[in-house]
Structure 1
Amino acid sequence: MNFPQHPWHKSSYSGNTGECVEVSEGPETRVRDTQHRDLGLLSVSSAEWAALVQAVVR
């Protein structure tokens, strides 16, 4: 499924160490390694991403 591109962003908690992931949120949420963008990405539904974030925040 192809969705429009959404901007990539990383958490403000990441600092400038380069050891973080970037997220592009939309109908399909995409996650990639900041240092190894060329190695691909993980795609999940928005509902799956929201469930993960809620589980981590608890």
Structure 2
Amino acid sequence: MTTEHPQWFTSSYSSNGGQCVKVATNLAASHGLVPVGDTKYDDGPILNVSAGAWAAFMEMAKSVQP
């Protein structure tokens, strides 16, 4: 079930140091976009990325070796 409002989450890899990106993937199926924002600024600007671009970014990120 999706909602009309972003359901934000941050990576489990972030150490909660305040330098995190928040993402809301719950809107990808219903709206075709993934909102991305900065956790330091709850009311700050949000970048709406297309679901396809987000999927491509995630595939690239998963393929990078640390």
Runs of 5+ consecutive residues of structure 1 not aligned to the other structure: none
Q: Percentage identity across aligned positions?
A: 36
Q: CA RMSD in A?
A: 1.5
Aligned length: 56
Rg larger for:
2
Superimposed CA distance per residue, residues 5-34 of structure 1 (whole angstroms, 9 cap, x where no aligned partner): 131000000012011010011221000000
- 4+ residue runs of structure 1 moved beyond 6 angstroms? none
Q: Amino acid of the residue matched to residue 41 of structure 1?
A: I
TM-score (normalised: structure 2): 0.74
Q: Structure 1 or 2: larger strand share? A: 1
Where does the alignment leave 5 or more consecutive residues of structure 2 unmatched? none
| 1:41 equivalenced with 2:46 (yes/no) | yes
